[in-house]
């Protein structure tokens, strides 16, 4: 690992309000937060953007984003994968997208303590989680999607299933706050976690070139302890580029600010704060004057690509900033010890 831990650049300040203003400026009157100005919207990144708003204390804007999810949820608990200006452009229904609302809702609750918000969101969370769990395979993995006709595509993604595992944990935490028992969800989550840890052969949509398949099983807490540390160290040099960030794919000279931020969350999750802070320091010069962050950059030629300014990238940076500084009560939502202490 080519990382100098003895000399860590002082963390450049994050202009939290400026970053949040950028995200909020993207939000439509309906509460929807598209990727970018004039861009598409998908439910997962919409939720990520809302989480960034919550970190910054923009609670009304975040709650408007969750109201949009209530209004647009389909009867089976899912959302269409992509829309643009109210028009469906991808009619797939992804389990990962449906379940992730639980993470956003629990994150907002941890910051605000607003139990009425939990009660309002519970039917939406419950339907989203159940949509995903209904597509759990006999061996524990969760199929990734249904098509517009309702036919299940029996393929499984390691990153997607890791995200669902985190979503189930948060949904169970919400249920606990509301005095609701969901033993079926708990069993489904346990089976999914065991599959993530022990059955890599079941994830038949192979994306090992992608860094997310490396760190997401740790980010969600399925892989922990010594195994998490070994997994991090094993592929560190494959994905981490000193002074630049984390590659999206291992065989391309391209790092992205979202993957870098999520990896910082992963390191903070296992209390590896020294390296998390070191990598966060690399983000300081990869931003625009308006508070947004570059989506990606090639190295060593330093070409910003793509030039799209995405709300969810800015939100990911805010989440990473919170995780390493402990500013909000939700800073530990991805922390392994936090979930162990809840048991």
Specify the pLDDT at position 205.
75
For the chain, the helix, strand and coil percentages under 3-state DSSP, each to the nearest 5: 55, 10, 35
Q: How confident is the model at residue 204 (pLDDT cuts 50, 70, 90)?
A: confident
Question: What is the arithmetic mean of pLDDT over 328-340?
Answer: 98
Tokens of 243: 């002074």
Give the burial string for 309-343 (b: 16+ CB within 10 Å, else e): bbbbbbbbbbbbbbbbeebbebbbbbbbeebeeee
Instruction: Give phi and psi for 152, each to the nearest 5.
Output: -75, 130
Asked if residue 325 has pLDDT above 80, the reply is yes
* pLDDT per position as a tens digit, 21-31: 999 999 999 99
Q: How confident is the model at residue 207 (pLDDT cuts 50, 70, 90)?
A: confident
The whole model's pTM is what?
0.96
Q: How confident is the model at residue 6 (pLDDT cuts 50, 70, 90)?
A: very low
Q: With contact defined as beta carbons under 8 Å apart, do 156 and 202 qualify?
A: yes
Asked if residue 10 has pLDDT above 50, the reply is no
- Where is 146: in which H helix or E strand? strand 145-146
* pLDDT per position as a tens digit, 215-266: 999 999 999 999 999 999 999 999 999 999 999 999 999 999 999 999 999 9
Q: With contact defined as beta carbons under 8 Å apart, do 80 and 91 qualify?
A: yes
Q: With contact defined as beta carbons under 8 Å apart, do 164 and 132 qualify?
A: yes
- Where is 145: in which H helix or E strand? strand 145-146
* Cα-based distances in Å from 242 to 38, 290, 299: 34, 26, 11
Asked if residue 13 has pLDDT above 90, the reply is no
Specify the pLDDT at position 336.
98
* Cα-based distances in Å from 6 to 10, 34, 103, 232: 12, 40, 35, 20
Report the C-alpha gap between 313 and 255 in whole angstroms: 13
Specify the pLDDT at position 12.
53
- Where is 313: in which H helix or E strand? helix 311-325
Specify the pLDDT at position 208.
84
Prior bond to 300 cis, omega within 30?
A: yes
Question: What is the arithmetic mean of pLDDT over 294-310?
Answer: 98
Specify the pLDDT at position 9.
41
What size, in residues, is the chain?
343
Asked if residue 2 has pLDDT above 90, the reply is no
Tokens of 153: 């595509």
Q: How confident is the model at residue 7 (pLDDT cuts 50, 70, 90)?
A: very low
Specify the pLDDT at position 8.
38
Specify the pLDDT at position 1.
58
* pLDDT per position as a tens digit, 52-100: 999 999 999 999 999 999 999 999 999 999 999 999 999 999 999 999 9
Ordered structural domains, the chain, with CATH: 16-342 (1.50.10.20)
Q: What is the mean pLDDT of the chain?
A: 95
Specify the pLDDT at position 57.
98
């Amino acid at each position: 690992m080519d990382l100098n831990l003895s000399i860590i650049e002082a963390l450049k300040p994050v202009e939290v309000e400026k970053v949040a203003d950028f995200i909020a400026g993207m939000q439509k009157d309906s509460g929807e937060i598209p990727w970018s100005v004039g861009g598409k919207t998908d439910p997962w990144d919409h939720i990520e953007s809302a989480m960034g708003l919550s970190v910054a204390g923009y609670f009304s804007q975040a709650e408007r984003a969750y109201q949009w999810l209530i209004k647009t949820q389909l009867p089976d608990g899912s959302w269409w994968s992509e829309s643009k200006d109210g028009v469906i452009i991808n009619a797939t229904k992804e389990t990962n997208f449906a379940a992730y609302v639980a993470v956003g809702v629990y994150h907002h609750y941890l910051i605000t303590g607003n139990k009425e918000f939990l009660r309002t969101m519970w039917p939406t969370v419950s339907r989203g989680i159940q949509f995903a769990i209904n597509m759990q395979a006999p061996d524990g993995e969760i199929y990734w999607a249904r098509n517009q006709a309702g036919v299940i595509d029996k393929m499984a993604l390691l990153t997607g299933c890791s995200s669902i595992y985190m979503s189930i944990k948060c949904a169970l935490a919400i249920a606990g706050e509301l005095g609701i028992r969901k033993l079926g969800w708990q069993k489904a989550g346990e089976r999914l976690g065991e599959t993530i840890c022990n059955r890599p052969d079941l994830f038949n949509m192979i994306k090992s070139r992608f860094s997310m398949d490396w760190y997401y099983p740790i980010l969600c807490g399925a892989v922990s302890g010594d195994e998490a540390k070994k997994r991090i160290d094993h592929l560190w040099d494959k994905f981490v580029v000193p002074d630049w960030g984390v590659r999206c794919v291992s065989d391309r000279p391209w790092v992205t600010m979202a993957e870098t931020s999520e990896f910082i969350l992963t390191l903070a999750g296992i209390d590896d704060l020294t390296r998390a802070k070191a990598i966060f320091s690399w983000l300081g010069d990869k931003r625009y004057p308006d508070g947004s962050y570059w989506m990606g950059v090639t190295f060593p030629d330093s070409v910003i690509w793509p030039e799209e300014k995405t709300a969810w990238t800015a939100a990911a940076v805010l989440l990473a900033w919170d995780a390493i500084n402990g500013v909000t009560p939700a800073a530990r939502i991805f922390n392994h010890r936090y979930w162990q202490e809840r048991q």
